[in-house]
Amino acid sequence: MKFRDIPGHEEEKTRLRELVDTGRIPHALLLEGPAGAGKFALARAYVQYLHCENRQDGDSCGVCPACRQHESFNHADTIFSFPVIKRGSGKSTVSEDYLEEFRRFITESPFMDFDKWLEALDSPAGQPQMYVEEGSELQRRLNFRTRSSEYKAVLMWLPERLHPSTANKMLKLIEEPYPDTVFVLTSDKSTEILPTIYSRTQRIFVRRYTDTEVETYLCQRGVDGPAAAEIARLAEGSLTAAEKRCGAEDNSARMLDLFADLMRKGFKRDLPALRKWANDMSARGREQQVRFVDYCSRLLRENLMLHTSAGRYVTTLSPEEAQFSTRFHPFVNERNVIALFDAMNDARRDILANGNSKMVFFDLAIKILMQIRK
Ligand SMILES: [Zn+2]
């Protein structure tokens, strides 16, 4: 990640560059500011700049061995530390065990969409943290000599999610520094960092993006002008929120197709087709499955309102959903609505409880078949 790969933030980039250029490299640096403002991307660019063997025009060169290792997330002297979810009980859990998932995540979401990280951890409702073993693991790894660079760097994402005993270990590492080690922390909620850690860091505040910056970013990614302006206004300075809104628009079209497909096949009582539908659904990630069930509940609710108000209710439906619902709403009525909502709630609960998703969705499909002609 080079500085020029990150939109805007000229002031922040200048400050980071100057730390390296003047040799006043803080032992522990904290980039704090709202989520979606590009703090982790800046931290990566800073560490790459620090390691680059051929800095040019205030940026890393992108082609030296150190830069190439950074670009492929394989820099020998850079350690990533980030919150994870315990796998099974009693097992030790450290960032290193999730490195592959994390590399994929930062490639796909360089502005660090936390929901996407939950999805990658396969834990839509989880509370990831840095567990107690993370502190000892960091200490162990910092005891090795650096391999190719002057500095070893620890890039820590979300220090507010350090388990209290890990935080104390971290504090020791920061208080009694190894001379060749730099910590770069990036936090969305710096008020939740252990105050003793917070007070020992040198801090740079990374401001939220302006609506114009978000709009420019979206336009460069092919979103057309008026839509980009509207999304930028709603994203409140967060690039991840803006990306999510762009994705949500295509996503809801796909969700509508899946919903319509389920209802049609249920109405036709086409069991083989319903079984295939359930198998296709089970191949999706758990978070997407939960979102789909929530989407179904919303569409059913809106259709019930249309039905009971004889079409007078003003819906929150998109034009495509509204078009589908003009034909669909007579099928959601007082005879089946409770059973339909129950079916969705059961499916949601079973998905979150790690139920066999082929069975969960086939069960849901059968309930639709039984109810939709009532
Ligand atoms: Zn370089």
- 9 Cα: distance to centroid of ligand 1 (angstroms): 21
> What per-residue confidence (pLDDT) applies to 359?
95
All structural domains of the chain: 3-208 (3.40.50.300), 248-371 (1.20.272)
- 356 Cα: distance to centroid of ligand 1 (angstroms): 48
> What per-residue confidence (pLDDT) applies to 317?
78
Q: pTM for this structure?
A: 0.70
- 111 Cα: distance to centroid of ligand 1 (angstroms): 22
Going from the first residue of the chain to its last (374 residues), give the mean pLDDT of each consecutive group of 10, the final group possibly shorter. 94 97 96 97 98 96 95 92 83 86 91 92 85 90 80 96 90 84 96 94 97 90 78 90 78 82 95 94 80 90 88 73 90 93 95 91 96 89
- 135 Cα: distance to centroid of ligand 1 (angstroms): 30
Which residues, 6+ apart, have CB-to-CB distance to 249 below 8 Å? none
- 20 Cα: distance to centroid of ligand 1 (angstroms): 14
Task: Answer yes or no: are the C-beta atoms of 194 and 187 closer than 8 Å.
Answer: no
Please report where in the chains the tokens 């036709």 appear, as a residue: 268
Taking the C-alpha atoms of residue 105 and residue 80, their distance in angstroms, rounded to an integer, is: 13
Which residues, 6+ apart, have CB-to-CB distance to 238 below 8 Å? 34, 35, 36, 37, 111, 208, 209, 214
Residue 182 DSSP label: E
- 342 Cα: distance to centroid of ligand 1 (angstroms): 58
Please report where in the chains the tokens 């007579």 appear, as a residue: 330
- Hey, what long-range contacts does 98-105 have (CB within 8 A, 24 or more apart)? 103/73
- 13 Cα: distance to centroid of ligand 1 (angstroms): 17
What separation in angstroms does the CA of 52 have from each of 2, 46, 75, 106, 293? 10, 10, 11, 20, 48
- 49 Cα: distance to centroid of ligand 1 (angstroms): 7
> What per-residue confidence (pLDDT) applies to 34?
96
- 72 Cα: distance to centroid of ligand 1 (angstroms): 13
Which residues are 157's β-sheet partners? 186
Which residues, 6+ apart, have CB-to-CB distance to 74 below 8 Å? none
Residue 344 DSSP label: H
> What per-residue confidence (pLDDT) applies to 311?
64
Task: Answer yes or no: are the C-beta atoms of 52 and 61 closer than 8 Å.
Answer: yes
- 54 Cα: distance to centroid of ligand 1 (angstroms): 5
- 41 Cα: distance to centroid of ligand 1 (angstroms): 16
- 319 Cα: distance to centroid of ligand 1 (angstroms): 50
- 75 Cα: distance to centroid of ligand 1 (angstroms): 12
Characterize 128-156 residue by residue with b for buried, 16 or more Cβ atoms within 10 angstroms of its Cβ, and e for exposed.
Answer: bbbbbbbbebbeeebeeeeeebebbbbbb
- 50 Cα: distance to centroid of ligand 1 (angstroms): 9
Output the 3-class SS for the chain.
Answer: CCHHHCCCCHHHHHHHHHHHHCCCCCCEEEEECCCCCCHHHHHHHHHHHHHCCCCECCECCCCCHHHHHHHCCCCCCEEEECCECCCCCCCCCCHHHHHHHHHHHHHHCCCCCHHHHHHHCCCCCCCCEECHHHHHHHHHHHCCCCCCCCCEEEEEECHHHECHHHHHHHHHHHHCCCCCEEEEEEECCHHHCCHHHHCCCEEEECCCCCHHHHHHHHHHCCCCHHHHHHHHHHHCCCHHHHHHHHHHHHHHHHHHHHHHHHHHHHHHCCHHHHHHHHHHHHCCCHHHHHHHHHHHHHHHHHHHHHHHCCCCCCCCCCHHHHHHHHHHHHHCCCCCHHHHHHHHHHHHHHHHCCCCHHHHHHHHHHHHHHHCCC
- 150 Cα: distance to centroid of ligand 1 (angstroms): 14
Neighbours of ion ligand 1 (CB under 5 A): 52, 60-61, 64, 67
- 169 Cα: distance to centroid of ligand 1 (angstroms): 33
